[in-house]
Amino acid sequence: MGTAIGSVYKSKADRVRINKKVHRDPRMTNMKDMVMPFSVKQMTVGGFKVLVQK
C-alpha cells in the first residue's frame, strides 16, 4: 500500500492513475491560482513526529 497526504492507495500504479485524473479535473485546475490561507509547505514538510523508522 502506498500513501500520500491523507490518502491510502492499493499500489503505486493506482496512485499514479488516480493522481492523473485529479490533475485533469477542472475543479482542481481552477484552484491553481487560489491563495491558500495557510503555508502549504509547512503543512506538508514540517510539524510531524516520526512514528515508525526502518
Number of domains in the chain: 1
In-domain check, residue 6: yes
At residue 44, the pLDDT reads 65
Q: What is the pTM of this model?
A: 0.47
Range of the domain at 17: 2-45
Q: What is the pLDDT of residues 23-45, one digit of tens each?
A: 888 887 777 777 777 776 766 66
45 or 7: which carries more pLDDT confidence?
A: 7
For position 4, what pLDDT does the model report? 46
Please report whether residue 54 resides in a domain: no
Chain position carrying cell 491510502 = 8
In a domain, 51, yes or no: no
- In degrees and rounded to multiples of 5, residue 28 shows phi and psi of -80, -40
Q: In sequence order, what are the residues at sequence separation of 6 or more whose Cβ sits closer than 8 angstroms to the Cβ of residue 24?
A: none
In a domain, 50, yes or no: no
- For residue 22, being part of any structural domain is answered with yes
The predicted structure's pLDDT at residue 24:
87
Residue 17 has pLDDT above 60, yes or no: yes
